[in-house]
């Protein structure tokens, strides 16, 4: 598992998704989005998971767009809001309806406890990678050298503190959301003991 082996899609949609994320996400959230794709693609390559790189990349760039003030929907959880934004983005990119639906599904499912890799490989990979990056789940699935490469190129910049604040706000305003459920099941402890923070010198 090496950073140099990971394909970054060069399509117009992929470039535009990164541009949107860079325009609206603060630096820590943008780096989290990039890392989420890199963890996902690295894991897929090492474990023989076939996936659609463009679809996964666009979903990774936009999966937390519902947390930023400009796209925060007060009536639905942030992942559903992000799914709607991604659907509209994909329509503007000229994607057919089924592909628009897929990118929305992947974003919504990244908050699930588990996504079946056979049913939805991109959703599985994004759920797995975001769980590593935010909650520190299963770091042993990623070699220490690879983790160091990714963190050196895309440091965490205090993402744990930022996410605690975002999720606390989501949980308060949307008590029926998965964000609220996370807080009720030990999210604070998981995020504050993420081993990636110990490995990333930018957070010290």
Interval 155-198: pLDDT, tens: 999 999 998 898 888 888 888 888 888 877 877 888 889 999 88
Question: What's 41's domain CATH number?
Answer: 1.10.3210.10
Alpha-carbon distance of 53 to 130, in angstroms, equals 16
Average pLDDT over every residue of 15-38:
98
User: What pLDDT is recorded for position 189?
Assistant: 86
143 is in which domain, residue-wise? 3-203
Tokens 């936009």 belong to: 62
Token pair of 55 as six digits = 């679809």
User: What pLDDT is recorded for position 204?
Assistant: 40
Q: How many domains does the chain have?
A: 1
Interval 128-165: pLDDT, tens: 999 999 999 999 999 999 999 999 999 999 999 998 89
Interval 54-71: pLDDT, tens: 999 999 999 999 999 999
Look at residues 117, 121, 152 and name the one whose alpha carbon lies nearest to residue 59: 121
Contacts from 145-151 at CB under 8 Å and sequence distance 24+? 146/1, 146/2, 146/3, 146/42, 147/196, 147/199, 148/199, 149/2, 149/3, 150/3, 150/35, 150/38, 150/39, 150/42, 151/35, 151/196, 151/199, 151/200, 151/202
Interval 104-132: pLDDT, tens: 999 999 999 999 999 999 999 999 999 99
Q: Say which DSSP state 189 is in.
A: H
Alpha-carbon distance of 89 to 75, in angstroms, equals 20
Interval 62-103: pLDDT, tens: 999 999 999 999 889 999 999 999 999 999 999 999 999 999
Find the DSSP H helices in 25-158: 27-47, 53-62, 78-92, 97-109, 121-135, 144-153
């Amino acid at each position: 598992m090496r950073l140099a082996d990971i394909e970054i899609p060069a399509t117009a949609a992929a470039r535009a998704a990164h541009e949107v994320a860079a325009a609206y996400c603060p630096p820590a959230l943008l780096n989290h989005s990039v890392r989420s794709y890199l963890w996902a693609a690295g894991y897929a390559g090492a474990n023989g998971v076939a996936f659609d790189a463009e679809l996964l990349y666009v979903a990774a760039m936009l999966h937390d767009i519902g947390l930023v003030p400009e796209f925060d929907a007060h009536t639905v959880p942030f992942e559903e809001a992000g799914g709607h934004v991604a659907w509209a983005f994909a329509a503007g990119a000229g994607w057919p309806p089924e592909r628009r639906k897929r990118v929305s599904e992947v974003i919504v499912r990244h908050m699930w406890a588990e996504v079946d890799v056979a049913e939805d490989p991109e959703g599985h990979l994004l759920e797995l990678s975001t769980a590593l990056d935010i909650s520190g789940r299963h770091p042993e699935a990623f070699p220490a050298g690879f983790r160091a490469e990714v963190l050196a190129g895309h440091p965490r910049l205090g993402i744990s503190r930022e996410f605690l604040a975002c999720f606390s706000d989501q949980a308060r305003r949307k008590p029926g959301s998965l964000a609220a459920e996370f807080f009720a099941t030990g999210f604070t402890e998981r995020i504050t003991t993420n081993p990636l923070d110990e490995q990333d010198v930018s957070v010290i």
